[in-house]
């Protein structure tokens, strides 16, 4: 009750402040303003300003320090503005940086901080903020799991790995308040993509140094995006409101965003149907129900999930050092049945790492290397030295999560049956806790593992090179190594002609599929239910219909005109 009274009071205050007089006398002819508190004019079909809020759900974060604790912060990166962001069509645009360039040496990048940019406490946003923040996220004392993302920066790996304790050796420096220079170790064509990643955001040094880990509490939290933290009711919910000092290109329409905290395993469908939320993600049984329901099916939005489920192998030891065995396993999996039957249409088949719609996608070229073909699978198994499965000891497939999600478990059980049906081999399933699985994976100690990799940024350098470029134990995901693959992805990283570099990544993906470095399985379909009054969700050129792109989250979102009896509470 307290929360809804607070929401009503906020809405009333905003509405009252936004009303203007069009008559001659005081209060005569008052009309609701079409301009929000940041000076952004609402679209013609928008509801009144008092209705410009959206009700969502999320797991409660333990911090909002996304730069060094992204998972703990539950991806609340939209609170902070990075130098660069992706727009609705996944094109890189300036955000905190109004312009950027790379020198002829292809290692010196210069960024101009937007004139007049300010934090939510009215302090100016400067290049010094980014210099300090990038060095902070690389400081090994913070154990940032995404620090490796920034290893292309000169001196970053040495500082993060403890080979030096001198932060000034990291190639990030503020020339003046508005000029930031970043040097890379060598030419890195995809470097701007790294700067769009969730963790590439600044933190307010004065608050961090004064309040330590508590700096993201409501009374101390300072942000630099179009949003600011307004309230955080522990175990209940949190509210974001527009930052009155934001002057950038990604101003929001909404006056506030209300989040209700949920517990793992929570199903929001009943609450959505009851009008408590404006938009929720759905999966599993809820997704299938929504597809069949005459009302919900009209509110269901699906779009590609740029992530891939696949298996990895320990290829340095038997039996998975045998390429023919790996190929046999790849050809024994009926991906269409997994996607359409096991997952009820909630996935699409994968034959390589790049999902459909992703830059560089080339299923027609690589499908043959891992297509479902039981006869070929049995032939490859015989060539591996195990005709009819004879002589092959039981295999063990490790699965991340205790338990994994129901969909994931159903998939591996289906695979287990397919191996028995088509190859006459026994495969046992072994569940591992997420932390244990990740530790074994990092040390290359998983003999055969089922996992997924989700896109960090929409470029093949991320989905091809990041998880597959060979790394020593303690880094990467598996021990597979292929010299030509490594040469291709390393060359692509140095190539600034986009057509040429994408072609190199595509050639590298062919090697992944043909060599069965991994067995590629499926790409999930994201699904959300969205009330008809939630506007500003347009399909981009990749078929994506998430909020409105990537980092400028919620920037294009607004509440459309509400019909009488709409049911919005």
Could you tell me which residues are beta bridge partners of residue 174? 180
Strands 53-59 and 256-262: parallel
The answer to whether residue 36 sits within a structural domain is no
What are the structure tokens assigned to 407, written together?
């969909």
Percentages of the chain per state (helix, strand, coil), in multiples of 5: 35, 20, 45
Distance of alpha carbon 20 from alpha carbon 24, whole angstroms: 12
Question: CA Rg, the chain, in Å?
Answer: 25
The answer to whether residue 185 sits within a structural domain is yes
Helix 483-494 × helix 498-514 angle, to 10°: 160
Using CA of residue 389, residue 393, residue 399, residue 403, what is the dihedral sign?
positive
CB 432 within 8 A of CB 398: yes
What are the structure tokens assigned to 240, written together?
């974001």
Distance between first and last Cα of the chain: 13
Q: What angle do CA 538, 540, 543 make, to 5 degrees?
A: 105
Q: What is the 3-state secondary structure (H, E, C) of 300-342?
A: EEEEECCEEEEEEECCCCCCCCCHHHHHHHHHCCCHHHHHHHH
228 Cβ contact partners less than 8 Å away, ≥ 6 residues apart: 79, 120, 221, 222, 240, 241, 242, 243
User: Do 489 and 355 share a structural domain?
Assistant: yes
Residue bearing tokens 């134990």: 473
Residue among 116, 123, 4 at smallest CA distance from 53: 4
The answer to whether residue 153 sits within a structural domain is yes
Report the number of distinct structural domains present in the chain.
2
The answer to whether residue 438 sits within a structural domain is yes
pLDDT of res. 18? 36
Phi and psi (nearest 5°) for 454? -105, 140
Residue among 281, 345, 268, 344 at smallest CA distance from 529: 281
Residue among 533, 101, 479, 525 at smallest CA distance from 304: 525
Q: Dmax of the chain from CA atoms?
A: 95
What are the structure tokens assigned to 39, written together?
């000076």
Query: What string of DSSP letters covers 152-174?
Result: TBTTHHHHHTTS---GGGSSEEE
The answer to whether residue 414 sits within a structural domain is yes
Number of Cβ atoms within 10 Å of the Cβ of 566: 13
Distance of alpha carbon 339 from alpha carbon 416, whole angstroms: 15
User: Do 456 and 339 share a structural domain?
Assistant: yes
CATH of the domain at 83: 3.90.76.10
Distance of alpha carbon 83 from alpha carbon 201, whole angstroms: 7
3-class DSSP state of 490? helix
Distance of alpha carbon 224 from alpha carbon 214, whole angstroms: 18
Query: Each residue's pLDDT tens digit in the chain (569 positions)?
Result: 333 333 333 333 333 333 333 333 334 344 567 899 999 999 999 999 999 999 999 999 999 999 999 999 998 989 999 999 988 777 899 999 999 999 999 999 999 999 999 999 999 999 999 999 999 999 999 999 999 999 999 999 999 999 999 999 999 999 999 999 999 999 999 999 999 999 999 999 999 999 999 999 999 999 999 999 999 999 999 999 999 999 999 999 999 999 999 987 777 899 999 999 999 999 888 998 999 999 999 999 988 889 999 999 999 999 999 999 999 999 999 999 999 999 988 999 999 999 998 999 999 999 999 999 999 999 999 999 999 999 999 999 999 998 898 899 999 999 999 999 999 999 999 999 998 999 999 999 999 999 999 999 989 999 999 999 999 998 889 999 999 999 999 999 999 999 999 999 999 999 999 999 999 999 999 899 999 999 988 666 665 554 434 446 788 899 999 877 666 76
Domain closes at, from 485, 506, 524? 524
The region, left, alpha or beta by phi > 0 then psi within -120 to 50, assigned to residue 116 is: left
3-class DSSP state of 123? coil
Number of Cβ atoms within 10 Å of the Cβ of 238: 21
The answer to whether residue 501 sits within a structural domain is yes
pLDDT of res. 569? 60
User: Do 311 and 163 share a structural domain?
Assistant: no
Taking the model in full, what pTM does it have? Answer: 0.88
Domain closes at, from 162, 177, 205? 205
User: Do 374 and 501 share a structural domain?
Assistant: yes
User: Do 314 and 200 share a structural domain?
Assistant: no
- Distances from the Cα of 86 to the Cα of 30, 113, 183, 229, 295, angstroms: 39, 17, 22, 23, 33
CA 10 from chain centre, in angstroms, equals: 31
Residue among 68, 75, 59, 58 at smallest CA distance from 212: 68
In total, the chain counts a number of residues equal to 569
User: Do 318 and 200 share a structural domain?
Assistant: no
User: Do 321 and 193 share a structural domain?
Assistant: no
The answer to whether residue 340 sits within a structural domain is yes
Residue bearing tokens 């790049």: 354
Number of Cβ atoms within 10 Å of the Cβ of 269: 18
The answer to whether residue 170 sits within a structural domain is yes
Distance of alpha carbon 216 from alpha carbon 201, whole angstroms: 14
pLDDT of res. 539? 65
Could you tell me which residues are beta bridge partners of residue 558? 535
What are the structure tokens assigned to 526, written together?
């994201």
Long-range contacts of 232-237 (CB under 8 A, 24+ apart): 233/3, 234/60, 235/60, 235/261, 236/3, 236/260, 236/261, 237/3, 237/261
pLDDT of res. 264? 73
What burial class does residue 525 get, using C-beta atoms within 10 Å of its C-beta: 0-12 exposed, 13-18 middle, 19+ buried?
middle
CATH of the domain at 499: 3.10.105.10
Domain closes at, from 151, 172, 205? 205
User: Do 496 and 348 share a structural domain?
Assistant: yes
391 Cβ contact partners less than 8 Å away, ≥ 6 residues apart: 385
Classify each residue of 343-380 as buried b or exposed e, where b means 16 or more C-beta atoms within 10 Å of its C-beta: beebbbbbbbbbbebbbbbbeeebbebbebbeebbbbb
Distance of alpha carbon 429 from alpha carbon 32, whole angstroms: 61
Structural domain range at position 428: 307-524
What are the structure tokens assigned to 446, written together?
């998983």
Distance of alpha carbon 204 from alpha carbon 462, whole angstroms: 29
């Amino acid at each position: 009750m307290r929360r809804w009274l607070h929401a009503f009071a906020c809405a009333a205050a905003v509405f009252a402040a936004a009303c203007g007089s069009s008559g001659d006398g005081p209060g005569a002819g008052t009309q609701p303003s079409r301009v929000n508190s940041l000076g952004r004019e609402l679209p013609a079909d928008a509801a009144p300003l008092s209705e410009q809020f959206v009700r969502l759900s999320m797991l409660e974060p333990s911090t909002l320090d996304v730069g060094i604790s992204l998972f703990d912060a539950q991806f609340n990166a939209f609170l902070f503005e990075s130098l660069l962001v992706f727009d609705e069509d996944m094109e890189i645009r300036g955000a905190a940086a109004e312009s950027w360039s790379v020198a002829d040496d292809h290692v010196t990048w210069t960024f101009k901080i937007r004139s007049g940019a300010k934090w939510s406490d009215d302090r100016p946003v400067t290049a010094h903020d980014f210099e300090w923040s990038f060095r902070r996220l690389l400081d090994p004392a913070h154990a940032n799991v995404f620090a490796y993302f920034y290893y292309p920066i000169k001196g970053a790996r040495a500082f993060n790995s403890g080979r030096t304790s001198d932060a000034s050796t990291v190639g990030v420096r503020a020339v003046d308040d508005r000029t930031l220079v970043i040097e890379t170790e060598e030419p890195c064509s995809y470097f701007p993509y790294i700067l769009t990643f969730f963790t590439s955001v600044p933190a307010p040094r004065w608050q961090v140094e004064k309040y330590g880990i508590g700096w993201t509490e409501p009374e101390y939290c300072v942000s630099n995006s179009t949003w600011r933290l307004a309230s955080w009711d522990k175990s209940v919910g949190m509210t974001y409101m527009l930052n009155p000092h934001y002057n950038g290109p990604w101003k929001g329409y909404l006056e506030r965003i209300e989040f209700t905290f949920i517990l793992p395993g929570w199903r929001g469908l009943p609450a959505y149907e009851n009008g408590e939320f404006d938009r929720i993600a759905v999966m599993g049984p809820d997704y299938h129900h929504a597809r069949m329901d005459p009302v919900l099916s009209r509110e269901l939005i699906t779009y590609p999930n740029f992530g891939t489920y696949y298996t990895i192998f320990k290829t340095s030891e038997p039996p998975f050092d045998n390429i023919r065995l790996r190929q046999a396993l790849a050809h024994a999996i009926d991906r269409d049945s997994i996607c359409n039957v096991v997952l009820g249409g909630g996935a699409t088949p994968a034959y390589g790492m790049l999902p459909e719609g992703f830059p560089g996608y080339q299923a027609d070229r690589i499908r043959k290397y891992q297509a479902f073909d039981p006869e070929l699978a049995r032939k490859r198994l015989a060539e591996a030295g195990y005709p009819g499965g004879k002589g092959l000891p039981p295999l063990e497939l490790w699965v991340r999560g205790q338990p994994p999600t129901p969909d994931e478990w159903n998939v591996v059980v289906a695979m287990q049956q397919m191996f028995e049906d088509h190859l006459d081999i026994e495969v046992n399933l072994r569940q591992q806790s997420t932390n244990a699985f990740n530790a074994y994976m990092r040390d290359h100690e998983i003999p055969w593992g089922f996992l997924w990799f989700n896109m960090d940024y929409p470029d093949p350098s991320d989905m091809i090179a990041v998880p597959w470029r060979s790394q020593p134990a303690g880094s990467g995901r598996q021990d597979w190594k292929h010299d030509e693959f490594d040469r291709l992805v390393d060359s692509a990283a140095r190539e600034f002609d986009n057509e040429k570099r994408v072609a190199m990544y595509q050639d590298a993906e062919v090697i992944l599929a043909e060599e069965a470095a991994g067995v590629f399985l499926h790409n999930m379909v994201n699904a959300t239910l969205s009330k008809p009054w939630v506007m500003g969700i347009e399909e981009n050129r990749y078929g994506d219909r998430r909020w409105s792109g990537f980092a400028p989250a919620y920037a294009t979102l607004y509440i459309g005109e509400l019909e009488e009896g709409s049911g919005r509470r």
